[in-house]
Amino acid sequence: MSRTVVKPSARETAAPGPGPTGDEIWCDLTKSSFAVVSHVTPTGEPRCSGVMYAVIDRRLFVTVAADSWKARHIAGRARVAVTVPVRRGGLLSMVLPIPPATITFHGTAVVHEPASVEGARALEALAPFLPPERRAACRVIEIRPEGSFLTYGVRVPLRKMRDPALARARVPV
């Protein structure tokens, strides 16, 4: 009885590259403006929603309606998870379905009044996303990333996104 030995391909044995740096991740976060914020309700049910954000001093700021469940639930728990899709593919993405890269992290969230120092500063940065008539009736959520950024496909050639070992990275915040 003979045995067939299958040698792994070069792609399967290649060591992952050094991956993106923390500064590169922050640069990518600053260039983006859409994220999905996840949290847990007081009854323990998971929730997530898309938000527009701005980066100020390595913190993300989001505005929400003052009476929204996001403002109430996040103020009550102060823990969130965030995923930011990072568009890729350039012109090629108009022809082929190219998935975005992602930056994911968890962090602590603080809900600010719009008239507070942090709230006013964030409202200025978020002005393009927030109609003037909604500014007085909003809350500003400040999200401070903690631990590590988990990335997939960030600053990785498109063809390497198919290989999780090459596409993933853990980058200190």
Read off the tokens for 48: 């997530």
Q: Where are the beta strands (DSSP E) in the chain?
A: 34-40, 46-56, 59-65, 79-86, 101-112, 138-152, 168-172
3-state secondary structure of 19: coil
Is residue 7 pLDDT above 70, yes or no? no
Which pLDDT score, from 0 to 100, does residue 20 have?
A: 93
Q: pLDDT tens-digit profile of 90-149?
A: 777 778 888 899 999 999 999 999 999 999 999 999 999 888 888 888 999 999 999 999
What's domain 18-172's superfamily in CATH?
A: Electron Transport, Fmn-binding Protein; Chain A (2.30.110.10)
Region 29-46 average pLDDT:
95
Domain ranges of the chain: 18-172
3-state secondary structure of 72: helix
Nearest partner of 140 among 102, 113, 164, 121, judged by Cα: 113
CA distance 146 to 109: 11
Q: pLDDT tens-digit profile of 46-91?
A: 999 999 999 999 999 999 999 998 888 998 889 999 999 998 877 7
Residues in the chain: 173
